[in-house]
Structure 1
């Protein structure tokens, strides 16, 4: 199903031999290491306070949320209480993954106003579209253009409240439409003044594409990254950062070209080791080897 899935295995992303420029290394050290809390999905819902304490002790300073409910907040924790827990552990929710499927389905943006209120209470910068249901993704180039239009509409609401909207990809956006892809249609059809992109590096690689090529074609459009490695033997699995098949040194060397302002470590599919210990291992690799 996935074409060219071996594209980056041992390839060094074609530019892997390039050294990280000293000027970039200086800038990168200023960037905090964030975590997409989905990495801790097995434990977070049952112990929000305890897990956030663990996240803070590892050394993270930013988080990206998931699982928000209008009626239940974050796993039964109200937004004000969740904010206090973040503050107590030196954490800031700079980005939030909110469910946009109802917005995509019927065009009703009322729920976006609730997302905006929550994000502003948390002191966030971004509201992020995380995933679109299969039945809502569309199968034609025109479908992706319509999707871009709805994203623009939601982004305008965010901008009016001092927030930015970002779009997070998986691999389905890379379906081909002639000489382009769904992802490129979204890049071209969304308003670059209103909409940023959060590139999930793992899913780009798994779809058979080189993130650096996209940075070069769409410079400074990708403001956030998900840093997630690919198991060398089974590409359906993730690996602790630095132990898998993706050459992150080459990617981080192109952060300025990407426009990357922040990134979030993430462990996602079929991930077996102890979650918090594996997150700590990935954090240490990023801190010591990429920044």
Structure 2
């Protein structure tokens, strides 16, 4: 099945997802994303959360979100943040957690307190392949400790990991220098498209390791857009990557003018899109 899926993806490609405004009549099938699989990266609302943590969490719950991905706890302890999530009937299913120079045992303890079972390194950038290989070895070691504690630890991409260094892409160094048992991949789809990569081909290139999508749309000018208002053809992308273990569709926008409206637009799009 793996070879068949990879071959189909390579043959068909996803030119429609990489550029051009999505067609409203594409992908009108019966499949929908289950609402419990729709999340939001709280970095999208970081300014609001800093100013009014409880009110913003309540607003997300009112929109319909039941799961979130963390990017810090805004001055609260893990236990305090967990109580706030419980109060508003929200569940943290994942988090961005850096491991380099951190106490991994404490990170694992905090994850267990808050309750998320997936975490990811949000960013790394190096100028040489040897530095990338050394990073991958450290990533694998930390991820092994997370795995033993029942938490899957992964890597979240930007665009630069798809730009070759001496003919080799850093994303391939990460994948090949880490164990699939230890390190999963969280694909930020905006950055994949921005790098000129085909999300479907990349999904099947690392089939089984991609367990989270950052669903971030791309505007006509190449900037960020609210999900469903930009140029990425989400129905086609979702349909062609539906098989496999990927179970989280995480709304994100790096610099929204109105974060709560961005959250609302993203949730409603993902809850209603058919493919």
> TM-score scaled to structure 1, two decimals?
0.82
Cα drift, residue 141 of structure 1: 2.3
CA distance in 2, matches of 1:20, 1:102: 47
Cα drift, residue 257 of structure 1: 3.9
What does the per-residue CA deviation read over 1:223-275, in whole Å, with 9 as the maximum and x for residues that have no partner? 00100001112x1x211111101111111113334531112100114x32x11
The residue that corresponds to 2:106 in the other structure is: 114
> What is the aligned counterpart of 1:208 among 183, 196, 208?
196
Cα drift, residue 290 of structure 1: 4.5
The residue that corresponds to 2:118 in the other structure is: 126
The residue that corresponds to 1:165 in the other structure is: 153
Instruction: Name which of structure 1's ranges 171-180 and 161-170 shifts more when overlaid on structure 2.
Output: 171-180
CA distance in 1, matches of 2:79, 2:159: 35
Cα drift, residue 209 of structure 1: 0.7
Instruction: Name which of structure 1's ranges 246-255 and 201-210 shifts more when overlaid on structure 2.
Output: 246-255
- Name the SS for the 2:273 alignment partner: helix
The residue that corresponds to 1:56 in the other structure is: 61
CA distance in 2, matches of 1:50, 1:11: 35
The residue that corresponds to 2:34 in the other structure is: 29
CA distance in 1, matches of 2:169, 2:21: 23
Check if 1:277 corresponds to 2:269.
no
> What is the aligned counterpart of 1:252 among 238, 249, 264?
238
Asked if 2 retains the 8 angstrom alpha-carbon contact of 1:97 and 1:128, the reply is yes
1:70-81 to 2 correspondences below 5 Å: 74-81=73-80
CA distance in 2, matches of 1:183, 1:17: 34
Asked if 2 retains the 8 angstrom alpha-carbon contact of 1:115 and 1:127, the reply is no
Asked if 2 retains the 8 angstrom alpha-carbon contact of 1:36 and 1:265, the reply is yes
The residue that corresponds to 1:193 in the other structure is: 181
> TM-score scaled to structure 2, two decimals?
0.87
Residues 56 and 141 (structure 1 numbering): CA distance in 2 closer, same or farther, change over 3 Å? same
CA distance in 1, matches of 2:78, 2:226: 31
Check if 1:84 corresponds to 2:83.
yes
The residue that corresponds to 2:212 in the other structure is: 224
Asked if 2 retains the 8 angstrom alpha-carbon contact of 1:156 and 1:194, the reply is yes
- Name the SS for the 1:224 alignment partner: strand
Check if 1:264 corresponds to 2:266.
no
- Name the SS for the 1:94 alignment partner: strand
CA distance in 1, matches of 2:89, 2:26: 35
The residue that corresponds to 1:148 in the other structure is: 136
CA distance in 1, matches of 2:28, 2:212: 19
What does the per-residue CA deviation read over 1:87-119, in whole Å, with 9 as the maximum and x for residues that have no partner? 12121111111133435xxxxxxx111110110
Structure 2 gaps of 5+ residues are 1-15
- Name the SS for the 2:144 alignment partner: helix
